[in-house]
Structure 1
Amino acid sequence: MLSPWVAALSATLLMQTVGTFLSQAVPVVAPLMTAELGLRPEAVGNFASLNTLGAILFLLFGTPLVARFGPLRMLQAGAVLGSVALLAAAAGIVWLLPLAALLMGIGYGPTGPAGSRILQATAPPRHRVLIFSVKQAGAPAGGALAGLVAAPVAAIWGWQAALLVGIAVALACAVLIQPLRPQLDAERDPQRPLREAFRLRRLAAPITALRMHPVLPPLTLQAFAFAALQGSLFAFTVTWLVQAHGASLTAAGSVFAAMQLAGVAGRLVLGWAADRLGDATRSLAIHGLVAAFLSLLWVLFGPQAHWAVGLVLAVACGFTAASWNGIFLAEVARVSPPDRVAEASSGAILLCFLGYLSAPSAFAWAVTSTGSWVLPYLVACGLLAAVSTFVLMLGGRAGSR
């Protein structure tokens, strides 16, 4: 039998990768899908926002399900539900797309609270942030796989074929982790009433979460701004490069994959560094200023530059703008009561997910209204820079260990 933390990290990393692969498959094939279905290219932003709304619904009401069925079982259930969502999207029926996006988000929802519950119970304290960051590296890794696998498959066999590949991968991985369930779901509470998931008082969970520790409000504000920028970048990069710059789907998918792979490296390097700096909130504020600046360079100069320069800028953007999640989740888990980690994680993630929810729809509206793809990116970069500066000005040591 694997040691507890190795089994925990293996399972959560795999399912985080799968969940993101499923979520990013549609944005990657969006140029083909929207053209075939007669939709405006920027409509993919509405799909991304509904996806996030589904995740928020799980974060509001799904925490009791994690306790009752076990975190690993909920990760499996999320993969199955995400597969159902991709199947609905692959049907090519426009009115099914909002439902598919919502189901996709609900399926993705367990990756945060369920993963945090598993890792907080097993991770060695001195490597806790790094282990959380390794798990969260599955998010850009899944996005990179979507760019490297879904884009070429869609270009050769059609966008529906790419979505079917995602379904096959997700179901296979859900089966693969089943032997770990007795080990990782040992503390589940099968007597937990299901009705707890549907009580209206759960709407107050985000506010309750923020009151658990003084570090959580500024930390969550940071996460919101990061999520707005990351959500805009990852929802629109492929469509923007294809529509505004004439890139092929495969080339745009490769740039998207490079950004995502850079995010994997960023999460590992910055997670390791955060374990040693000891002030997650302040370090994320500095991180945010760097991410906003490098993302600004990519948006303004990357697509028009020589391909080598553009690739470097895309990698730098991905390294910084997609590497904050593990530090955020590890700090939320650290300051939360041990028996309320899943609840605190759900509440904090829910609030930062408002960035993922609002930014893509606002981005799509801005593109339609102004005809500019660059302006919404500039606003997202400016928001992160402003919030990061504000948090730095607060000073103090609320986030210190």
Structure 2
Amino acid sequence: MLKPWVAALSATLLMQTVGTFLNQSLPVVAPLMTADLGLRPETIGNFASVNTLGAILFLLFGTPLVARFGPLRMLQAGAVLGCLALLTAAAGIVWLLPFAALLMGIGYGPTGPAGSRILQATAPPRHRVLIFSVKQAGAPAGGALAGLVAAPMAAAFGWQVALLTGIGVALVCAVLIQPLRPQLDAEREPARPLRDAFSPRRLAAPVNALRMHRVLPPLTLQAFAFAALQGSLFAFTVTWLVQEHGFSLTSAGSLFAAMQVAGVVGRLALGWAADRIGDATRSLAVHGLVAAGLSALWVSFGPGAHWALALALAIGAGFTAASWNGIFLAEVARVAPPDRVAEASSGAILLCFLGYLTAPSAFAWTVTGTGSWTLPYYVACGLLAVVSLVVLALRAGRDADRG
């Protein structure tokens, strides 16, 4: 039998990758899908927001389901829901697309709280942030696979074929982790009533999560700003490159994949560094300033630059803007009471997901209203920079008061 933490990391990393692969397949094929269905290109931002709304619904009401059925079972269920979402989208019926996006978000919702519950129970303390970051590296890894697999497949065979391929991959992976269920779902609570999931008090979960520790409010504020920038980059990069700069879908997908792969490396490197620094709030604030600057450089110069420079700028943006999640989740799990890790993770992730919810729709509306694709990118970069400076100032003031 595998060591508990190895089994835990293997299962959660795989399903995080699968969940993001499903989630990012729609933005990657969006230029073909929206053209085929007669929609404006920026409409994909509204679908991204509906997707996030689905994840928020799970985070609000799904934590008791994680306890009752077990975190591994919920990761499997999430993959199945993601497959149903892509199947619905592949039908090519416009009025079904919002439903598909909502279902996709609900399916993606378990990856945070379920993964945190599994890892917090098994991860060795001295490598906890790194292990969380390795798991979260599955998110950009899944996005990279979407860019490298879904984009060329959509260009060659059509966007529906690309979505159907994703369904097959996800179902196989959900079956592969089944042998680990007795080991990783051993502490589930099968007697827990299902009505707990739909109790009105669940609406207070985000506020209750922030009350668990004084570090959580500034940490979650940073996560919100990071999510707004990352959500904008990931929802629109392919469409922006194709529509505004004349890239082929395959070339745009390759740059998108490079950005995602850089996020994988960034999550591992910065997770390792955070374990040694031991100050997640301050390190994320500095991280945010660098991410805002490099992302602004990518938006300003990347698409019109020589391919090598464009690739370097895309890598820089991805390395910093997509590498914060593991540090955030590990810190939430660290400060939460041991029996409330899933609840704290759900509440904190829900609040940070408001960035994913609002930013893509605001981005789409700005493009429609002004005709500019760069303006909303700059706004997202500026938001992260300002929030990071505020958090650093608050932290410096608190340290001065202690001195």
Could you say whether these structures have the same fold, taking a TM-score greater than 0.5 normalized by the shorter chain as the test?
A: yes
TM-score where L is the length of structure 2: 0.98
Alignment pair present for 1:51 and 2:57: no
Partner residue, 1:164: 164
Aligned to 2:363: 363
Unaligned stretches of 5+ in structure 2?
A: none
**Corresponding residue SS for 1:197:** helix
Which residue number corresponds to residue 112 of structure 1?
A: 112
The answer for the alignment partner of 1:3 in structure 2 is: 3
CA distance in 2, matches of 1:397, 1:292: 25
Match of 1:278 in 2: 278
- Any idea what SS the aligned residue of 1:89 has? helix
RMSD, matched Cα? 0.7
Q: For residue 268 of structure 2, what is the aligned residue in structure 1?
A: 268
Deviations 1:354-379 (A, max 9, x none): 00000000000000000000000000
Shift of 1:164: 0.2
Write the mapping of 1:2-401 to structure 2, written as runs, cut at 5 A.
2-395=2-395, 396=398
In 2, Cα distance between equivalents of 1:181 and 1:279: 34
Give the number of equivalent residue pairs: 398
Q: Is the 8 A contact 1:132 1:329 kept in 2?
A: yes
Matches of 1:86 and 1:305, distance apart in 2: 35
Distance 1:27 1:43 in 2: 10
Deviation (angstroms), 1:146: 0.1
Report the Cα offset of residue 64 of structure 1.
0.2
Give the fraction of aligned pairs with identical amino acids, expressed as a percent: 85
1:209-265 Cα distance to aligned partner (Å, 9 max, x none):
000000000000000000000000000000000000000000000000000000000
Alpha-carbon distance between aligned partners in 2 of 1:168 and 1:328, rounded to the nearest angstrom: 31
Distance 2:294 2:129 in 1: 24
For 2:187 and 2:292, locate their aligned partners in 1 and report how far apart those are by CA, in whole Å.
41
State the TM-score, normalizing by the size of structure 1.
Answer: 0.99
1:275 maps to amino acid: D
How far did 1:348 drift?
0.0
Distance 1:374 1:296 in 2: 9
Measured after TM superposition, the shift of residue 186 of structure 1 is 0.2
Unaligned 5+ segments in structure 1 are none
Amino acid at match of 1:220: T
Question: What letter is aligned with 2:309?
Answer: V
| Aligned residue type for 2:388 | S
| Cα distance between partner residues in 2 of 1:3 and 1:278 | 26
- Give distance in 1, aligned partners of 2:315 and 2:385: 19
What SS is found at the alignment partner of 1:189?
coil
Q: Following the alignment from structure 1 to structure 2, what is the Cα–Cα distance between the partners of residues 206 and 385?
A: 24
C-alpha distance 251-8 of structure 1, shift in aligned 2 (>3 A): same
Does the 8 Å contact 1:279/1:397 carry over to 2? Answer: no
Amino acid at match of 1:232: S
Could you tell me how far 1:397 is from its partner in structure 2? 5.8
